[in-house]
Structure 1
Amino acid sequence: MNYLSTLPDKTALLDWQKERGNNDIAKVNAHIHTPYSFSAFKNIPQIFEMARQEEIKVLGINDFYTTDGYAEFIEQAHKNKVFPLFNIEFIALDLDDQKKGRKVNDPGNPGRTYLSGKGLLYPPKLDEPFVTQLNTVQAETLKQVEAMVEKVQHILINMGSDIKITMAEIFEKYAVDQVRERHIAKIIRVKVFEKYTSSSDRKAFLEKLYGGKASTADLSDNSLVENEIRGMLLKAGGSAFVEEDPKAFLSVPQVKAIILNAGGIPTYPLLADNAKGEYTDFENDKEKLLQELKVRGINSIEFIPNRNDLKRLKEYARFFWDNQILVTFGTEHNTPEMIPLTIETRGHVDLDHDLKELSYQGACVVAAHQYLMAKGQTGFVKSNGHRNGDRLQPFVKLGHAVVSRYLTFLNKH
């Protein structure tokens, strides 16, 4: 059962919060991946152990294509006294942007568009034809990964190596119900490091695996090694690369429809500036981006601040928030590198007070949406994707009451 459905009605809840008079800002991370897709974490309890150590009070699961982790996530959230946000992520393809060569929020692939859904219903629900659409995408993605594993194994055989890479072992040891490129890179790194113990032997093997290209990764950093394996072998131009079938992608409108049917808020993950201060074609002009998102019916954006400059991040985040677009922040944790759950900007620079407040307020909007949907009411967006009102503040106020009441309940039990 979703505890939010048992909370008092909106008026009583707001009255409770007003009488309580607590306006503390909770520490938030609204976007992390778990082992149900790919994650730096070994398991979900590890996530909440870190959350407890870092005093994170609002945490959002955000796996690719699946809600399978929700039940375990909410169980651990209750146990560790954390408010859970239920999210999901997709990779869509906009054929028009692809034809134009326009890069959206994937800097390497024109037309490819990441979209998240925020505040989905719990327990999860999805109707037809959306279930079939999602299953088809998952099946096509799995075919691509299986083909890459086969290519890797052929490369190893041709090298005369006795190292074996199989889908069965990846599922058994490293994946829950999805296998992605990063899983393949991880098992290769583990197998190579198990077989060869010296740095010189490891480098020599990797160079052979890369077709004569030298390994330059720091072998003491597993994350860097796995990223190098992925880049050398599995990405475009690599000897084990397999091009994705167009059937592995839904269109942006199809993804939006799935998110809305699942009770969520369609959300655009905004890359913003890279280390050189560059933006993608789609994001370079924030005024035009705002209008483009409105045309596409998207009223929510999110950032992964560890890839952004603090000043530039604040400029973009404040601009969209002031234009009544929902803004949230997260760490993603969708690489092998284990970083803190506490949100930082590029160079390990903390969010300033204004951005910490905005981060919490954004999470409150999602919390209010989850509460209203659990009550069978209209949340931040309607079922057709249109806004429910044109101001963020009423949802911030309600969401603050929801989070406060929820955490109060957990702290008493």
Structure 2
Amino acid sequence: MKKIIDVNAHLHTPYSFSAFTDVRQALDMAAAEDVRIVGINDFYSMDGYREWNDECATRHLYPMFNIEFISLNSEDQAAGLRVNDPNNPGRTYLSGKGLAYPVILSGKEAQMLADVRAESNAQVERMCAKLNAHLDAVKAGFSIDFKQVVKDLTRGSVRERHLAKALRMAVDAAAGNAGDRLALYERIFGGQPLKSAIENDAAVENEIRSKLLKSGGAAFVPEDPKAFLPMETVCRIIEAAGGIPTYPFLADDAKGNFTDFEGDLQKAADTLKKRGFKSVEFITTRNTTAVLEKYTDYLQDEGFIVTFGSEHNTPALEPIRLRTRDNAEGLSEKLRLTNYRGACAVAAHQAGLDSVEAGDELLQKTVFGI
């Protein structure tokens, strides 16, 4: 390794839902923070790849082409095993890393991806209808136009966070001052006052989502099983798109707890190998440095590619440079090296090269011209 280059291998963009207003903002921030290897990682979408590629090129950044799915493992579900969704046994988030660009996905696998994305959008449309019925019942004085939300706030993929944003914007438009907005939120929330600071848009949107769109909320719509493909099918789609199926670890939460699946690291690694996984990732702000180092040391020794990212799939605009839950300054040197080694492996795969060393050479040449 000539020089460690900082990496963020998991960034959502407005092609799904993102803190960023556009791809340029994300990549301008990356360049300003000297994060030179960046991975687009949208839900069910490769639509942003061309823009990501072109905008990275103008900034001498190396683009990773990734994707994210929510899958279902029926064996884990039947066993009541929580994998990497703490609230839903069997439900498993998966990423694909280093997909081919230009996009090669076609045929049956492309249709399966299109179908699951359409079902995901349809679920949010059903949620919007239920939200409008609630707004009518509480006499909010406005409704949310789903087609307008799609047109104004999305690039084709609609998430419940878009609805929360649309509702926050509608309240801002309907109520002239802070006092009126607070009163309107209290009515919409069934008599509960808004807990967030009214001027904090990100916090308000998160509270809307929590109180209205999640389980128990007035506009909650359970997800149809059709929205979740079997884990094996998702892996097949990722491989058909040229990518590496990747398991995203949650690891330790704020209270130091782990899911059923991840608590026994050796067993988790063995199970992932049996299921054909050779790559894992972590969203570093979730975890302590000590846990990240312990888990990633073990997983690297077991032969897994390990990468890190930040997601940026909430309204809060956080730095692109990675940090851990207990170190706002950034990653330890050990973790920086782990992340860069993983990026070298993904870059080699993405470019059709045969070694981590070849990936390192490609990244150094792209970023530094050497």
* TM-score bin, normalised by smaller chain: over 0.9
Aligned partner of 1:357 among 328, 334, 337: 337
Contact 1:91 1:112 in 2 (8 A): yes
Aligned partner of 2:211 among 220, 228, 232: 232
The SS at the match of 2:263 is coil
Which residue in 2 is equivalent to 1:186? 165
The SS at the match of 1:57 is strand
Which residue in 2 is equivalent to 1:368? 348
The percent of aligned pairs where both chains have the same amino acid is: 45
In structure 2, C-alpha distance between the alignment counterparts of 1:256 and 1:197, rounded to whole Å: 50
Task: Name which of structure 1's ranges 228-237 and 127-136 shifts more when overlaid on structure 2.
Answer: 127-136
In structure 2, C-alpha distance between the alignment counterparts of 1:323 and 1:90, rounded to whole Å: 25
Mapping 1:254-273, distance limit 5 Å: 254-273=233-252
Q: CA deviation at 1:197?
A: 4.1
TM-score (norm 1): 0.87
Which residue in 2 is equivalent to 1:219? 198
Which residue in 1 is equivalent to 2:109? 130
Which residue in 2 is equivalent to 1:325? 304
In structure 1, C-alpha distance between the alignment counterparts of 2:91 and 2:54, rounded to whole Å: 34
Between Structure 1 and Structure 2, how many residues are aligned?
Answer: 369
Contact 1:35 1:44 in 2 (8 A): yes
Which residue in 1 is equivalent to 2:77? 98
Which residue in 2 is equivalent to 1:302? 281
Deviation digits for residues 80-133 of structure 1 (CA, Å, limit 9, x no counterpart): 110000100000011222222211101111111000000000101113211121
Deviation digits for residues 20-63 of structure 1 (CA, Å, limit 9, x no counterpart): xx711111111100000000000011111101210111000000
Q: CA deviation at 1:349?
A: 4.5
Q: CA deviation at 1:202?
A: 2.2
Which residue in 2 is equivalent to 1:407? 367
Contact 2:284 2:322 in 1 (8 A): yes
In structure 2, C-alpha distance between the alignment counterparts of 1:110 and 1:182, rounded to whole Å: 23
Q: CA deviation at 1:196?
A: 2.2
Contact 1:310 1:349 in 2 (8 A): no
Which residue in 2 is equivalent to 1:392? none
The gaps in structure 1 that reach 5 residues or longer are 1-21, 374-378, 380-394
Which residue in 2 is equivalent to 1:144? 123
Say if 2:75 is the partner of 1:76.
Answer: no
Say if 2:250 is the partner of 1:281.
Answer: no
The gaps in structure 2 that reach 5 residues or longer are none
Deviation digits for residues 213-260 of structure 1 (CA, Å, limit 9, x no counterpart): 332122232111111111111111111011111111100000000000
In structure 2, C-alpha distance between the alignment counterparts of 1:136 and 1:30, rounded to whole Å: 26
Q: CA deviation at 1:153?
A: 1.1
Deviation digits for residues 178-235 of structure 1 (CA, Å, limit 9, x no counterpart): 1110000011111112322433332222222122233212223211111111111111
In structure 1, C-alpha distance between the alignment counterparts of 2:116 and 2:64, rounded to whole Å: 24
In structure 1, C-alpha distance between the alignment counterparts of 2:115 and 2:289, rounded to whole Å: 40
Residue identity in the other structure for 1:402 = L
TM-score (norm 2): 0.96
The SS at the match of 1:102 is coil
In structure 1, C-alpha distance between the alignment counterparts of 2:116 and 2:170, rounded to whole Å: 30
The SS at the match of 1:117 is strand
The SS at the match of 2:92 is strand
Task: Name which of structure 1's ranges 64-73 and 311-320 shifts more when overlaid on structure 2.
Answer: 311-320
In structure 1, C-alpha distance between the alignment counterparts of 2:185 and 2:264, rounded to whole Å: 42
In structure 2, C-alpha distance between the alignment counterparts of 1:29 and 1:319, rounded to whole Å: 21
Aligned partner of 2:18 among 28, 39, 58: 39
Aligned partner of 2:68 among 89, 92, 116: 89
Residue identity in the other structure for 2:26 = I
In structure 2, C-alpha distance between the alignment counterparts of 1:197 and 1:252, rounded to whole Å: 48
Residue identity in the other structure for 2:129 = E
Deviation digits for residues 64-85 of structure 1 (CA, Å, limit 9, x no counterpart): 1110000000010001110000
Residue identity in the other structure for 1:282 = F
In structure 1, C-alpha distance between the alignment counterparts of 2:77 and 2:207, rounded to whole Å: 27
The SS at the match of 1:344 is coil
Deviation digits for residues 145-194 of structure 1 (CA, Å, limit 9, x no counterpart): 11111111111112222222011211222101111100000111111123
Aligned CA-pair RMSD = 1.4
Residue identity in the other structure for 1:399 = G
In structure 1, C-alpha distance between the alignment counterparts of 2:362 and 2:121, rounded to whole Å: 39
